[in-house]
Amino acid sequence: MATIRRALLSVTDKTGLAEFARGLAELGVQMLSTGGTARLLREAGLSVQDVAEVTGFPEMLDGRVKTIHPRIAAGVLAVRSKPEHMAALEAHGIPLIDMVVVNLYAFEQAAARAGVSLEELVENIDIGGPTLIRAAAKNWQDVAVVVSPEDYPRILAELRTAGNLSAATHFELAQKAFALTADYDAAISARLARITFEDHRPVDREEALPAVLRLRLPRRMSLRYGENPHQQAALYAAGAAGLAGAEQLQGKELSFNNLVDLDAAWQLILEFEAPASAIIKHTNPCGCAEAESLAESYRRAFEADPVSAFGGVLAFNRSLDEETASEIAKTFIEAIAAPDYTPEALAVLGRKKNLRLVRVSRATGDGLVIKSITGGVLAQTPDAETLDRARLEVKTERRPTEREWQALEFGWKVVKHVKSNAIVYAEPGRLLSAGAGQMSRVDAVKVGAMKAILPLAGSVLASDAFFPFPDGIEEAHKHGVTAVIQPGGSVRDDEVIAAANRLGLAMVFTGIRHFRH
Protein backbone atom coordinates (compact mmCIF):
# COMPACT_ATOMS: atom_id res chain seq x y z
CA MET A 1 0.00 0.00 0.00
CA ALA A 2 1.08 3.61 -0.56
CA THR A 3 2.94 5.43 2.18
CA ILE A 4 0.78 7.88 4.13
CA ARG A 5 2.24 11.34 3.56
CA ARG A 6 -0.77 13.61 4.02
CA ALA A 7 -3.85 13.27 6.24
CA LEU A 8 -7.04 15.29 6.45
CA LEU A 9 -8.45 15.52 9.99
CA SER A 10 -11.91 16.98 10.67
CA VAL A 11 -13.80 15.45 13.58
CA THR A 12 -16.71 16.14 15.90
CA ASP A 13 -15.62 13.57 18.50
CA LYS A 14 -12.14 14.76 19.45
CA THR A 15 -11.39 11.89 21.86
CA GLY A 16 -7.70 10.94 21.58
CA LEU A 17 -7.22 13.14 18.52
CA ALA A 18 -4.24 15.16 19.76
CA GLU A 19 -2.32 12.00 20.68
CA PHE A 20 -3.14 10.38 17.34
CA ALA A 21 -2.13 13.47 15.38
CA ARG A 22 1.11 13.74 17.35
CA GLY A 23 1.87 10.15 16.42
CA LEU A 24 1.21 10.92 12.75
CA ALA A 25 3.44 13.99 12.92
CA GLU A 26 6.27 11.93 14.39
CA LEU A 27 5.95 9.63 11.37
CA GLY A 28 6.32 12.62 9.03
CA VAL A 29 2.68 12.87 8.00
CA GLN A 30 1.53 16.35 6.93
CA MET A 31 -1.86 17.36 8.29
CA LEU A 32 -4.75 19.31 6.82
CA SER A 33 -7.62 20.35 9.02
CA THR A 34 -10.63 22.60 9.52
CA GLY A 35 -12.20 24.81 12.18
CA GLY A 36 -12.23 23.50 15.72
CA THR A 37 -10.14 20.45 14.84
CA ALA A 38 -7.32 22.62 13.49
CA ARG A 39 -7.52 24.86 16.56
CA LEU A 40 -7.24 21.88 18.93
CA LEU A 41 -4.21 20.51 17.07
CA ARG A 42 -2.43 23.88 17.08
CA GLU A 43 -3.12 24.24 20.79
CA ALA A 44 -1.42 20.86 21.17
CA GLY A 45 1.67 22.33 19.48
CA LEU A 46 1.21 20.59 16.13
CA SER A 47 1.73 22.05 12.66
CA VAL A 48 -1.51 22.04 10.63
CA GLN A 49 -2.39 23.41 7.20
CA ASP A 50 -5.88 24.83 6.82
CA VAL A 51 -8.04 23.17 4.16
CA ALA A 52 -8.79 26.69 2.91
CA GLU A 53 -5.14 27.01 1.85
CA VAL A 54 -5.58 23.99 -0.44
CA THR A 55 -9.00 24.95 -1.82
CA GLY A 56 -8.35 28.66 -2.13
CA PHE A 57 -11.70 29.33 -0.49
CA PRO A 58 -12.49 30.16 3.13
CA GLU A 59 -15.04 28.24 5.16
CA MET A 60 -18.45 29.53 4.07
CA LEU A 61 -22.13 29.59 5.04
CA ASP A 62 -21.64 29.26 8.79
CA GLY A 63 -19.28 26.33 8.29
CA ARG A 64 -21.62 24.40 6.00
CA VAL A 65 -19.01 24.49 3.25
CA LYS A 66 -15.48 23.54 4.27
CA THR A 67 -14.28 20.36 2.57
CA ILE A 68 -16.72 20.11 -0.33
CA HIS A 69 -14.36 21.17 -3.10
CA PRO A 70 -12.78 19.52 -6.18
CA ARG A 71 -9.26 20.11 -4.82
CA ILE A 72 -10.11 18.03 -1.75
CA ALA A 73 -12.30 15.42 -3.46
CA ALA A 74 -9.77 14.83 -6.22
CA GLY A 75 -6.94 14.39 -3.71
CA VAL A 76 -8.96 11.68 -1.99
CA LEU A 77 -10.51 9.94 -5.02
CA ALA A 78 -7.50 9.79 -7.34
CA VAL A 79 -6.49 6.19 -8.08
CA ARG A 80 -2.71 6.10 -7.76
CA SER A 81 -2.31 3.29 -10.31
CA LYS A 82 -4.03 5.29 -13.08
CA PRO A 83 -1.57 7.60 -14.90
CA GLU A 84 -4.40 9.81 -16.19
CA HIS A 85 -5.58 10.46 -12.61
CA MET A 86 -2.11 11.40 -11.47
CA ALA A 87 -1.58 13.59 -14.52
CA ALA A 88 -4.83 15.46 -13.81
CA LEU A 89 -3.72 16.16 -10.23
CA GLU A 90 -0.35 17.41 -11.41
CA ALA A 91 -1.94 19.62 -14.07
CA HIS A 92 -4.12 21.34 -11.46
CA GLY A 93 -1.60 21.35 -8.63
CA ILE A 94 -3.77 19.17 -6.39
CA PRO A 95 -2.04 17.35 -3.52
CA LEU A 96 -2.79 13.70 -2.73
CA ILE A 97 -4.59 12.93 0.53
CA ASP A 98 -3.64 9.49 1.84
CA MET A 99 -5.67 9.37 5.04
CA VAL A 100 -9.05 10.81 5.98
CA VAL A 101 -9.82 11.06 9.71
CA VAL A 102 -13.44 12.13 9.99
CA ASN A 103 -16.41 11.49 12.24
CA LEU A 104 -19.84 13.05 12.07
CA TYR A 105 -22.06 15.59 13.75
CA ALA A 106 -23.81 13.93 16.68
CA PHE A 107 -27.23 13.84 15.00
CA GLU A 108 -28.67 11.13 17.26
CA GLN A 109 -27.74 13.09 20.40
CA ALA A 110 -29.46 16.17 19.04
CA ALA A 111 -32.47 14.12 17.92
CA ALA A 112 -32.84 12.64 21.42
CA ARG A 113 -33.28 16.05 23.09
CA ALA A 114 -36.79 16.81 24.24
CA GLY A 115 -38.50 19.47 22.14
CA VAL A 116 -35.82 19.59 19.45
CA SER A 117 -36.98 21.62 16.45
CA LEU A 118 -36.81 20.64 12.81
CA GLU A 119 -34.31 23.47 12.28
CA GLU A 120 -32.00 22.05 14.95
CA LEU A 121 -32.27 18.59 13.45
CA VAL A 122 -31.37 19.87 10.01
CA GLU A 123 -28.38 21.83 11.32
CA ASN A 124 -27.07 18.63 12.89
CA ILE A 125 -27.11 16.72 9.59
CA ASP A 126 -23.52 16.40 8.43
CA ILE A 127 -22.91 16.80 4.69
CA GLY A 128 -19.18 17.19 4.15
CA GLY A 129 -18.28 14.44 6.62
CA PRO A 130 -20.22 11.61 4.94
CA THR A 131 -19.01 12.83 1.55
CA LEU A 132 -15.37 12.62 2.60
CA ILE A 133 -15.86 9.29 4.35
CA ARG A 134 -17.56 7.68 1.36
CA ALA A 135 -14.97 9.08 -1.05
CA ALA A 136 -12.10 7.71 1.00
CA ALA A 137 -13.83 4.37 1.54
CA LYS A 138 -14.52 4.06 -2.20
CA ASN A 139 -10.80 4.56 -2.86
CA TRP A 140 -9.81 2.24 0.01
CA GLN A 141 -6.88 0.72 -1.87
CA ASP A 142 -5.07 4.06 -1.77
CA VAL A 143 -6.67 5.96 1.12
CA ALA A 144 -7.07 4.97 4.76
CA VAL A 145 -10.38 6.19 6.20
CA VAL A 146 -10.53 6.45 10.00
CA VAL A 147 -13.95 7.09 11.56
CA SER A 148 -13.53 5.86 15.13
CA PRO A 149 -11.12 6.98 17.87
CA GLU A 150 -10.89 3.38 19.04
CA ASP A 151 -8.85 2.63 15.91
CA TYR A 152 -6.19 5.29 16.57
CA PRO A 153 -3.83 3.16 18.69
CA ARG A 154 -3.72 0.15 16.35
CA ILE A 155 -3.23 2.35 13.28
CA LEU A 156 -0.26 4.10 14.86
CA ALA A 157 1.14 0.76 16.00
CA GLU A 158 0.92 -0.69 12.48
CA LEU A 159 2.43 2.44 10.89
CA ARG A 160 5.32 2.42 13.35
CA THR A 161 5.98 -1.27 12.79
CA ALA A 162 5.42 -1.67 9.04
CA GLY A 163 5.74 1.89 7.73
CA ASN A 164 2.29 1.72 6.14
CA LEU A 165 -1.08 0.03 6.54
CA SER A 166 -1.85 -3.34 5.00
CA ALA A 167 -4.50 -3.87 2.35
CA ALA A 168 -6.51 -5.84 4.92
CA THR A 169 -6.45 -2.89 7.33
CA HIS A 170 -7.45 -0.47 4.56
CA PHE A 171 -10.41 -2.67 3.62
CA GLU A 172 -11.52 -3.21 7.22
CA LEU A 173 -11.47 0.55 7.81
CA ALA A 174 -13.53 1.06 4.64
CA GLN A 175 -16.08 -1.49 5.80
CA LYS A 176 -16.44 0.34 9.09
CA ALA A 177 -16.74 3.67 7.26
CA PHE A 178 -19.57 2.51 5.00
CA ALA A 179 -21.36 1.02 8.03
CA LEU A 180 -21.08 4.38 9.81
CA THR A 181 -22.56 6.38 6.95
CA ALA A 182 -25.33 3.82 6.48
CA ASP A 183 -26.23 4.00 10.18
CA TYR A 184 -26.06 7.78 10.08
CA ASP A 185 -28.43 8.06 7.13
CA ALA A 186 -30.77 5.50 8.70
CA ALA A 187 -30.90 7.51 11.94
CA ILE A 188 -31.71 10.71 10.01
CA SER A 189 -34.37 8.99 7.93
CA ALA A 190 -35.99 7.35 10.96
CA ARG A 191 -36.11 10.60 12.95
CA LEU A 192 -37.42 12.73 10.11
CA ALA A 193 -40.09 10.10 9.38
CA ARG A 194 -41.68 11.05 12.70
CA ILE A 195 -42.28 14.60 11.50
CA THR A 196 -45.33 15.61 9.51
CA PHE A 197 -46.68 18.95 8.38
CA GLU A 198 -49.95 20.12 9.87
CA ASP A 199 -51.22 23.65 9.18
CA HIS A 200 -47.95 24.32 7.32
CA ARG A 201 -45.76 23.61 10.33
CA PRO A 202 -43.70 20.56 11.33
CA VAL A 203 -45.22 18.41 14.06
CA ASP A 204 -43.61 15.49 15.85
CA ARG A 205 -45.61 12.26 15.82
CA GLU A 206 -45.07 9.89 18.72
CA GLU A 207 -45.44 6.61 16.88
CA ALA A 208 -44.46 3.42 18.66
CA LEU A 209 -44.08 1.47 15.42
CA PRO A 210 -42.07 3.07 12.58
CA ALA A 211 -43.22 3.06 8.97
CA VAL A 212 -39.93 1.39 8.04
CA LEU A 213 -38.12 -0.83 10.54
CA ARG A 214 -34.37 -0.61 10.17
CA LEU A 215 -32.20 -3.05 12.08
CA ARG A 216 -28.45 -2.51 11.92
CA LEU A 217 -26.89 -4.28 14.88
CA PRO A 218 -23.19 -5.12 15.08
CA ARG A 219 -22.30 -8.74 15.75
CA ARG A 220 -21.19 -8.85 19.36
CA MET A 221 -20.49 -12.55 19.70
CA SER A 222 -20.34 -15.64 17.49
CA LEU A 223 -21.94 -18.59 19.25
CA ARG A 224 -20.85 -22.22 19.07
CA TYR A 225 -24.19 -23.12 17.50
CA GLY A 226 -27.88 -22.23 17.65
CA GLU A 227 -30.70 -24.04 19.37
CA ASN A 228 -29.19 -27.26 18.02
CA PRO A 229 -25.61 -28.19 17.02
CA HIS A 230 -26.37 -28.19 13.28
CA GLN A 231 -27.48 -24.52 13.38
CA GLN A 232 -25.17 -21.49 13.18
CA ALA A 233 -25.83 -18.54 15.49
CA ALA A 234 -24.52 -15.18 16.69
CA LEU A 235 -25.52 -12.43 19.11
CA TYR A 236 -26.14 -8.95 17.68
CA ALA A 237 -26.51 -5.94 19.94
CA ALA A 238 -26.31 -2.15 19.73
CA GLY A 239 -25.87 -1.09 23.36
CA ALA A 240 -24.93 -2.16 26.86
CA ALA A 241 -28.43 -2.52 28.29
CA GLY A 242 -30.18 -5.76 29.09
CA LEU A 243 -29.00 -9.30 28.59
CA ALA A 244 -27.45 -8.60 25.17
CA GLY A 245 -25.05 -6.14 26.80
CA ALA A 246 -24.22 -8.31 29.81
CA GLU A 247 -20.66 -8.82 30.98
CA GLN A 248 -19.66 -12.47 31.44
CA LEU A 249 -17.57 -12.89 34.58
CA GLN A 250 -16.80 -16.60 34.46
CA GLY A 251 -17.75 -19.95 32.99
CA LYS A 252 -18.05 -21.63 29.64
CA GLU A 253 -19.02 -19.75 26.51
CA LEU A 254 -22.64 -18.65 26.53
CA SER A 255 -24.82 -20.65 24.17
CA PHE A 256 -27.83 -19.55 22.14
CA ASN A 257 -30.14 -21.36 24.56
CA ASN A 258 -28.36 -19.91 27.60
CA LEU A 259 -28.98 -16.40 26.30
CA VAL A 260 -32.65 -17.07 25.54
CA ASP A 261 -33.25 -18.57 28.99
CA LEU A 262 -31.22 -15.91 30.80
CA ASP A 263 -33.23 -13.20 29.09
CA ALA A 264 -36.49 -14.87 30.12
CA ALA A 265 -35.23 -15.05 33.71
CA TRP A 266 -34.03 -11.44 33.64
CA GLN A 267 -37.31 -10.10 32.27
CA LEU A 268 -39.20 -11.94 35.01
CA ILE A 269 -36.99 -10.79 37.87
CA LEU A 270 -37.39 -7.15 36.90
CA GLU A 271 -41.07 -7.41 37.90
CA PHE A 272 -40.18 -7.39 41.60
CA GLU A 273 -39.12 -4.69 44.06
CA ALA A 274 -38.39 -6.94 47.07
CA PRO A 275 -35.37 -9.31 46.95
CA ALA A 276 -36.39 -11.96 44.43
CA SER A 277 -35.11 -15.05 42.62
CA ALA A 278 -36.23 -16.68 39.38
CA ILE A 279 -35.43 -20.16 38.08
CA ILE A 280 -36.04 -20.78 34.37
CA LYS A 281 -36.06 -23.99 32.37
CA HIS A 282 -36.64 -23.79 28.62
CA THR A 283 -37.89 -20.18 28.97
CA ASN A 284 -40.59 -21.07 31.52
CA PRO A 285 -40.43 -20.29 35.26
CA CYS A 286 -40.14 -23.41 37.40
CA GLY A 287 -39.38 -21.39 40.52
CA CYS A 288 -39.85 -17.77 41.55
CA ALA A 289 -40.13 -16.13 44.94
CA GLU A 290 -39.54 -12.92 46.84
CA ALA A 291 -38.54 -12.62 50.51
CA GLU A 292 -36.78 -10.35 52.97
CA SER A 293 -33.39 -11.71 51.93
CA LEU A 294 -32.09 -12.94 48.57
CA ALA A 295 -31.03 -16.27 50.02
CA GLU A 296 -34.48 -16.90 51.46
CA SER A 297 -36.12 -15.97 48.15
CA TYR A 298 -33.90 -18.51 46.39
CA ARG A 299 -34.66 -21.28 48.88
CA ARG A 300 -38.38 -20.62 48.47
CA ALA A 301 -38.10 -20.58 44.67
CA PHE A 302 -36.04 -23.79 44.57
CA GLU A 303 -38.49 -25.71 46.79
CA ALA A 304 -41.26 -25.34 44.20
CA ASP A 305 -39.58 -27.68 41.67
CA PRO A 306 -36.07 -28.93 42.55
CA VAL A 307 -36.18 -31.50 39.74
CA SER A 308 -36.76 -28.92 36.98
CA ALA A 309 -34.32 -26.49 38.61
CA PHE A 310 -31.47 -28.93 37.93
CA GLY A 311 -29.62 -27.55 34.90
CA GLY A 312 -31.72 -24.40 34.88
CA VAL A 313 -30.73 -20.73 34.73
CA LEU A 314 -31.20 -18.20 37.50
CA ALA A 315 -31.77 -14.46 37.79
CA PHE A 316 -31.66 -12.17 40.82
CA ASN A 317 -32.69 -8.55 41.26
CA ARG A 318 -30.04 -7.83 43.91
CA SER A 319 -26.29 -8.20 44.08
CA LEU A 320 -25.73 -11.91 44.66
CA ASP A 321 -24.24 -12.51 48.13
CA GLU A 322 -22.27 -15.33 49.74
CA GLU A 323 -25.25 -16.95 51.50
CA THR A 324 -27.25 -17.13 48.27
CA ALA A 325 -24.20 -18.39 46.37
CA SER A 326 -23.75 -21.18 48.92
CA GLU A 327 -27.34 -22.28 48.37
CA ILE A 328 -26.91 -22.22 44.60
CA ALA A 329 -23.73 -24.30 44.82
CA LYS A 330 -25.70 -27.25 46.19
CA THR A 331 -27.09 -28.15 42.75
CA PHE A 332 -26.08 -28.00 39.08
CA ILE A 333 -26.99 -24.67 37.46
CA GLU A 334 -26.12 -23.63 33.90
CA ALA A 335 -25.99 -19.84 34.20
CA ILE A 336 -26.84 -16.90 36.45
CA ALA A 337 -27.80 -13.29 35.70
CA ALA A 338 -27.58 -10.63 38.42
CA PRO A 339 -26.92 -6.88 38.61
CA ASP A 340 -23.71 -7.65 40.53
CA TYR A 341 -21.90 -10.20 42.71
CA THR A 342 -20.06 -9.73 45.99
CA PRO A 343 -16.42 -10.90 46.08
CA GLU A 344 -17.45 -13.62 48.54
CA ALA A 345 -20.16 -14.89 46.18
CA LEU A 346 -17.70 -14.95 43.29
CA ALA A 347 -15.29 -16.98 45.43
CA VAL A 348 -18.00 -19.56 46.20
CA LEU A 349 -19.29 -19.81 42.63
CA GLY A 350 -15.76 -19.71 41.22
CA ARG A 351 -15.31 -23.30 42.38
CA LYS A 352 -17.81 -24.28 39.67
CA LYS A 353 -15.60 -23.39 36.71
CA ASN A 354 -18.21 -24.11 34.04
CA LEU A 355 -20.97 -22.08 35.70
CA ARG A 356 -21.66 -19.01 33.57
CA LEU A 357 -22.02 -15.77 35.52
CA VAL A 358 -23.21 -12.58 33.81
CA ARG A 359 -23.55 -9.09 35.21
CA VAL A 360 -26.51 -7.26 33.67
CA SER A 361 -27.39 -3.59 33.62
CA ARG A 362 -30.83 -2.97 35.11
CA ALA A 363 -31.58 -0.55 32.27
CA THR A 364 -34.04 -2.22 29.90
CA GLY A 365 -34.62 0.47 27.28
CA ASP A 366 -37.92 0.98 25.47
CA GLY A 367 -37.19 -0.82 22.24
CA LEU A 368 -39.57 -2.93 20.24
CA VAL A 369 -40.02 -6.67 20.69
CA ILE A 370 -38.99 -8.34 17.43
CA LYS A 371 -39.78 -11.87 16.22
CA SER A 372 -38.85 -13.38 12.90
CA ILE A 373 -41.26 -15.21 10.62
CA THR A 374 -40.64 -16.68 7.18
CA GLY A 375 -39.86 -13.76 4.90
CA GLY A 376 -40.11 -10.98 7.47
CA VAL A 377 -40.32 -9.88 11.08
CA LEU A 378 -43.09 -8.96 13.50
CA ALA A 379 -42.65 -5.99 15.83
CA GLN A 380 -44.62 -4.99 18.89
CA THR A 381 -44.26 -2.73 21.90
CA PRO A 382 -43.19 -4.44 25.14
CA ASP A 383 -45.83 -5.98 27.42
CA ALA A 384 -45.29 -3.37 30.12
CA GLU A 385 -48.77 -3.32 31.67
CA THR A 386 -48.65 -3.45 35.48
CA LEU A 387 -51.36 -4.37 37.95
CA ASP A 388 -53.27 -1.72 39.90
CA ARG A 389 -55.51 -3.29 42.53
CA ALA A 390 -57.83 -0.28 42.48
CA ARG A 391 -58.64 -0.93 38.79
CA LEU A 392 -59.40 -4.64 39.17
CA GLU A 393 -62.95 -5.95 39.14
CA VAL A 394 -64.07 -8.49 41.73
CA LYS A 395 -66.66 -10.52 39.85
CA THR A 396 -67.73 -12.97 42.55
CA GLU A 397 -69.87 -12.72 45.65
CA ARG A 398 -66.81 -13.28 47.82
CA ARG A 399 -64.00 -10.75 47.73
CA PRO A 400 -60.38 -11.93 48.09
CA THR A 401 -58.83 -11.81 51.54
CA GLU A 402 -55.66 -9.74 51.96
CA ARG A 403 -53.58 -12.93 51.80
CA GLU A 404 -55.32 -13.91 48.57
CA TRP A 405 -54.80 -10.42 47.11
CA GLN A 406 -51.04 -10.70 47.74
CA ALA A 407 -50.92 -14.13 46.14
CA LEU A 408 -53.02 -13.01 43.15
CA GLU A 409 -50.77 -10.01 42.52
CA PHE A 410 -47.65 -12.16 42.72
CA GLY A 411 -49.12 -14.86 40.46
CA TRP A 412 -50.15 -12.25 37.87
CA LYS A 413 -46.58 -10.99 37.64
CA VAL A 414 -45.30 -14.51 37.01
CA VAL A 415 -47.96 -15.77 34.58
CA LYS A 416 -47.02 -12.94 32.22
CA HIS A 417 -43.71 -14.78 31.71
CA VAL A 418 -45.11 -18.30 31.19
CA LYS A 419 -45.74 -19.58 27.67
CA SER A 420 -49.43 -19.60 26.75
CA ASN A 421 -51.73 -21.27 27.46
CA ALA A 422 -50.38 -20.34 30.88
CA ILE A 423 -51.56 -21.15 34.39
CA VAL A 424 -49.76 -20.32 37.64
CA TYR A 425 -50.48 -21.63 41.14
CA ALA A 426 -49.16 -19.18 43.72
CA GLU A 427 -49.13 -18.19 47.37
CA PRO A 428 -48.01 -14.79 48.69
CA GLY A 429 -44.49 -14.19 47.38
CA ARG A 430 -44.00 -17.59 45.75
CA LEU A 431 -44.74 -19.58 42.60
CA LEU A 432 -45.96 -23.06 43.55
CA SER A 433 -46.34 -24.56 40.10
CA ALA A 434 -47.00 -23.64 36.48
CA GLY A 435 -48.83 -25.19 33.55
CA ALA A 436 -47.13 -23.86 30.44
CA GLY A 437 -47.67 -24.04 26.70
CA GLN A 438 -50.72 -26.29 26.67
CA MET A 439 -53.18 -26.45 23.80
CA SER A 440 -56.19 -26.06 26.10
CA ARG A 441 -56.55 -24.00 29.25
CA VAL A 442 -58.05 -26.79 31.35
CA ASP A 443 -55.05 -28.95 30.44
CA ALA A 444 -52.75 -26.16 31.63
CA VAL A 445 -54.61 -26.24 34.97
CA LYS A 446 -54.16 -30.02 35.14
CA VAL A 447 -50.48 -29.94 34.19
CA GLY A 448 -49.73 -27.27 36.79
CA ALA A 449 -51.40 -29.37 39.48
CA MET A 450 -49.64 -32.53 38.27
CA LYS A 451 -46.22 -30.90 38.51
CA ALA A 452 -46.80 -29.36 41.94
CA ILE A 453 -44.50 -30.56 44.73
CA LEU A 454 -45.61 -28.09 47.37
CA PRO A 455 -49.20 -28.30 48.69
CA LEU A 456 -51.73 -26.40 46.58
CA ALA A 457 -54.42 -26.18 49.25
CA GLY A 458 -55.11 -22.51 49.92
CA SER A 459 -53.28 -21.35 46.79
CA VAL A 460 -54.54 -18.98 44.10
CA LEU A 461 -54.63 -19.40 40.35
CA ALA A 462 -53.47 -16.89 37.71
CA SER A 463 -54.44 -17.33 34.07
CA ASP A 464 -52.86 -15.34 31.22
CA ALA A 465 -56.14 -15.28 29.27
CA PHE A 466 -59.82 -15.87 29.91
CA PHE A 467 -61.40 -19.21 30.78
CA PRO A 468 -63.57 -20.23 27.81
CA PHE A 469 -65.51 -22.74 29.95
CA PRO A 470 -66.10 -23.34 33.66
CA ASP A 471 -64.05 -26.59 33.53
CA GLY A 472 -60.77 -24.81 34.30
CA ILE A 473 -62.22 -23.23 37.44
CA GLU A 474 -63.74 -26.53 38.53
CA GLU A 475 -60.44 -28.34 38.03
CA ALA A 476 -58.57 -25.69 40.04
CA HIS A 477 -61.02 -26.04 42.92
CA LYS A 478 -60.26 -29.78 43.11
CA HIS A 479 -56.65 -28.90 43.99
CA GLY A 480 -57.49 -26.44 46.76
CA VAL A 481 -57.44 -23.14 44.89
CA THR A 482 -59.42 -20.44 46.72
CA ALA A 483 -59.11 -17.43 44.39
CA VAL A 484 -58.54 -16.76 40.69
CA ILE A 485 -57.18 -13.85 38.67
CA GLN A 486 -57.81 -13.71 34.93
CA PRO A 487 -58.42 -11.11 32.19
CA GLY A 488 -62.08 -11.94 31.55
CA GLY A 489 -63.68 -11.33 28.19
CA SER A 490 -65.10 -14.74 27.30
CA VAL A 491 -68.63 -15.05 25.91
CA ARG A 492 -69.11 -17.51 28.79
CA ASP A 493 -67.83 -15.23 31.55
CA ASP A 494 -71.21 -15.46 33.30
CA GLU A 495 -70.96 -19.27 33.41
CA VAL A 496 -67.41 -19.10 34.74
CA ILE A 497 -68.39 -16.55 37.43
CA ALA A 498 -71.37 -18.69 38.41
CA ALA A 499 -69.09 -21.70 38.82
CA ALA A 500 -66.74 -19.68 41.03
CA ASN A 501 -69.66 -18.53 43.20
CA ARG A 502 -70.98 -22.09 43.47
CA LEU A 503 -67.53 -23.29 44.61
CA GLY A 504 -66.96 -20.37 47.01
CA LEU A 505 -64.01 -18.95 45.08
CA ALA A 506 -63.09 -15.28 44.80
CA MET A 507 -62.45 -14.18 41.23
CA VAL A 508 -60.83 -11.00 39.93
CA PHE A 509 -60.84 -9.70 36.33
CA THR A 510 -57.88 -7.61 35.15
CA GLY A 511 -59.07 -6.62 31.68
CA ILE A 512 -55.48 -7.27 30.52
CA ARG A 513 -54.30 -10.35 28.62
CA HIS A 514 -50.73 -11.66 28.83
CA PHE A 515 -50.31 -14.11 25.94
CA ARG A 516 -46.67 -15.13 25.46
CA HIS A 517 -45.95 -17.09 22.29
For the chain, which residues make up each domain, given as ranges?
Answer: 6-195, 243-359, 389-509
Determine what percent of the chain is predicted with pLDDT higher than 90.
58
- pLDDT-wise least confident of 54-63, 290-299, 456-465: 54-63
Q: Measured between alpha carbons, how far is 79 from 98 in angstroms, rounded to an integer? A: 11
Strands (E), 282-368: 284-290, 313-316, 335-338, 356-359
Mean pLDDT of 253-265: 95
Q: What's the pLDDT score for residue 201?
A: 63
CA distances to 30, 481, 499 from 110, in Å: 33, 55, 58
Mean pLDDT of 3-20: 88
pTM above 0.85, yes or no: no
Per the prediction, the chain carries an average pLDDT of 89
Quick: pLDDT tens for 196-209.
776 656 666 666 77
Q: How confident is the model at residue 364 (pLDDT cuts 50, 70, 90)?
A: low
Q: Is 138 among the residues known to form the active site?
A: yes
- pLDDT-wise least confident of 182-191, 222-231, 458-467, 495-504: 182-191
Count CB neighbours of 97 within 10 A. 28
Q: Which listed residue (138, 371, 479, 514) is catalytic?
A: 138
CA angle 412, 303, 359 (to 5 degrees): 70
The structural architecture, per CATH, of the domain 389-509 is 3-Layer(aba) Sandwich (3.40)
CATH 3.90.550.10 fits 6-195, yes or no: no
Which residue intervals of 330-419 are DSSP H helices? 343-349, 402-415
Q: Measured between alpha carbons, how far is 490 from 132 in angstroms, rounded to an integer? A: 62
Output DSSP code: residue 280. Answer: E
CA angle 235, 212, 113 (to 5 degrees): 85
Q: Measured between alpha carbons, how far is 303 from 430 in angstroms, rounded to an integer? A: 10
Mean pLDDT of 442-467: 96
Q: Which listed residue (69, 85, 252, 282) is catalytic?
A: 282
User: Which contacts of 59-67 are long-range, i.e. CB under 8 A and separated by 24 or more positions?
Assistant: 59/34, 59/35, 63/35, 64/127, 65/128, 66/10, 66/34, 66/35, 66/128, 67/8, 67/10, 67/34, 67/128, 67/131, 67/132
- 8 Å CB contact between 120 and 42: no
Q: What's the pLDDT score for residue 111?
A: 67
Mean pLDDT of 401-407: 97
Output DSSP code: residue 85. Answer: H
Q: How confident is the model at residue 276 (pLDDT cuts 50, 70, 90)?
A: very high
With a cut of 90, say whether residue 361 has pLDDT above it. Answer: no
Q: What's the pLDDT score for residue 13?
A: 85
Query: Torsion angle of alpha carbons 130, 135, 139, 143, nearest 10°?
Result: -70
Q: Measured between alpha carbons, how far is 451 from 472 in angstroms, rounded to an integer? A: 16
**Of 3.40.50.2300, 3.40.50.1820, 3.40.50.2020, 3.40.140.20, which CATH number belongs to 243-359?**
3.40.140.20
Q: How confident is the model at residue 215 (pLDDT cuts 50, 70, 90)?
A: confident
Q: How confident is the model at residue 57 (pLDDT cuts 50, 70, 90)?
A: low
Quick: pLDDT tens for 85-132.
888 888 888 888 899 998 876 777 766 677 777 777 777 787 788 888
Mean pLDDT of 397-422: 97
Asked whether this chain's domains 6-195 and 243-359 adopt the same fold, the reply is no
Q: What's the pLDDT score for residue 261?
A: 96
With a cut of 80, say whether residue 388 has pLDDT above it. Answer: yes
Q: How confident is the model at residue 52 (pLDDT cuts 50, 70, 90)?
A: confident
- pLDDT-wise least confident of 216-220, 290-294, 409-413, 489-493: 216-220
Q: What's the pLDDT score for residue 430?
A: 97
- 8 Å CB contact between 465 and 441: yes
Helices (H) and strands (E) in the chain, counts: 19, 23
